[in-house]
Structure 1
Amino acid sequence: MIKGLENKPYEERLKELGMFSLQKRRLRGDMIAMYKYVKGSHGEEGASLFSAALQTRTQGNKGFKLQERRFHLNIRKNFLTVRRAVRQWNSLPRSVVEAPSLEALNQRLGSLGDISKSFCELTDAAEVGAYLDLNVTSALCLTAGLLQAFPARPGLRRTVVNISSLAALQPFKSWSLYCTGKAARDMMFRVLAQEEPDVRVLSYAPGPLDTDMQEEVRTKSRDPKLRQIFLEMKEEGKLLDCDVSARKLLDLLLADTFESGAHIDFYDP
């Protein structure tokens, strides 16, 4: 138990540590299991639990909506809490359920947000709140909790690295959630640098990395010009290898000449 949390209620402990409740963790696990049953390693078992639902509307994850099969035994019906899992799966945006791999699914469950939507289409407060909870609130609470757990003392060096993005500084069409989250985190860690001068704080933008997230950007971004820009970067070999960007970050940390709270991009000299 972290010091200072012993007598606090469960909800307050979660908030201070930036952790999700058991219910949210279970839901995330359900969605990962659903992916395995629908598209992954347990496809045969999934066919006995779910069937494709007939589509009469074009909204949502068309083509991947499911309905539970009829069961004679409750033990079968309640496996994976089928009804709950199917309902939540069907509510996911298409960009999530079309993830090409389990790793990509994990990223899309809480990373870019729905980049197929324009600003004016983001009217679901629960969707926006869930995104900001995962990408902003949790980062704040977890960092604060860790700094409390490891207070300043002689010989202890504390460094916080926020993985930022050009999107923290520059707007991109249909990236309302992603840009908002990145900008908020940058400012959040600038405040930390001001309040805690003994903590070294860096917001590092790793550049356009060649990852599954980039594939989502090229195929799911609402703006066709933006999709084309990133497609050309891929075709021309201008996307960065993750190892190259990681080495730049390590060099920055070892040199330790940056101003605490600074935003530094891979391409900065």
Structure 2
Amino acid sequence: MQSLKDQTLHQFDRIVVIHNVGSLGPMNQCTNDLTDINVWHDYYDLNVFVPAILNGVIMQIFNEKTNTEKLVVNITSLYGTKPGKYLSYYCSGKAAREMFFKVFAVENPEINVLNYSPGPVETDMYYEICNDLADKQVKTEFKDMLTKKTVLTCEQTVNRLLMVLKEQKYKSGDHVDYYDEL
């Protein structure tokens, strides 16, 4: 926020905040073995608490006095709505963060909020799943998508996000997946 220190906030007529931080967490333990509270703290600090706090700080800076139109996009995942073996950290973190932004949308009806699930995108995280996930079936499915070239590119999913935002056929706070019909 130091970069805004000497700025007149009234010069901004719109802000766009995209919360895209994300890590998978350990993917080699089942839920019964997730007993280290420090691992949980570290995971939730980065993936849930930091985006929530950062969002609050931004909203305090660009409050109703600035008369700034606001768009907040939370990058989420299908795994925030569906369980995946050995993905307890990731699934629960995405679900918690998505619910936070749904509550944020209800409390701030003047702000456009979208929970966008980008689909399976070829990123470092995608390769982490291919290499490190303990669930052999899902690991194989992810590798097969690479072989069949059905994994999405960053450009594809960003273009879809832009289309979703342009068409605005969602209610603020909704979860929209790359594959959803508009």
Q: TM-score range by the shorter chain?
A: 0.7 to 0.9
Q: Which residue of 1 aligns with 2:73?
A: 161
- Matches of 1:116 and 1:216, distance apart in 2: 12
User: Shift of residue 250 of structure 1?
Assistant: 1.1
- Could you state the TM-score of these two structures normalised by the residue count of structure 1? 0.58
- Encode CA deviations 1:242-267: one digit per residue, 9 max, x unaligned: 00100111111222232000000000
Q: Which residue of 1 aligns with 2:138?
A: 226
**Cα pair distance change 1:137/1:154, threshold 3 Å:** closer
Q: Which among 143, 167, 171 is matched to residue 83 of structure 2?
A: 171
Q: Which among 46, 51, 70 is matched to residue 139 of structure 1?
A: 51
Q: Which among 248, 251, 258 is matched to residue 160 of structure 2?
A: 248
What amino acid does structure 2 have at the position aligned with 1:138?
V
Q: Which among 121, 124, 128 is matched to residue 36 of structure 2?
A: 124
Runs of 4+ that moved beyond 3 A: none
- Matches of 1:237 and 1:186, distance apart in 2: 29
- Matches of 2:51 and 2:66, distance apart in 1: 26
**Cα pair distance change 1:154/1:127, threshold 3 Å:** closer
- Encode CA deviations 1:220-259: one digit per residue, 9 max, x unaligned: 1111111111111111111001001001111112222320
Equivalenced residue count is 163
Unmatched 5+ stretches in structure 2 = 3-20
User: Shift of residue 155 of structure 1?
Assistant: 5.1
Identical aligned pairs, as a percentage? 38
- Could you state the TM-score of these two structures normalised by the residue count of structure 2? 0.85
Q: Which residue of 2 aligns with 1:113?
A: 25
Q: Once superposed, what is the RMSD of the aligned Cα atoms?
A: 1.6
- Encode CA deviations 1:41-98: one digit per residue, 9 max, x unaligned: xxxxxxxxxxxxxxxxxxxxxxxxxxxxxxxxxxxxxxxxxxxxxxxxxxxxxxxxxx
Unmatched 5+ stretches in structure 1 = 3-106
Q: Which among 149, 155, 179 is matched to residue 267 of structure 1?
A: 179
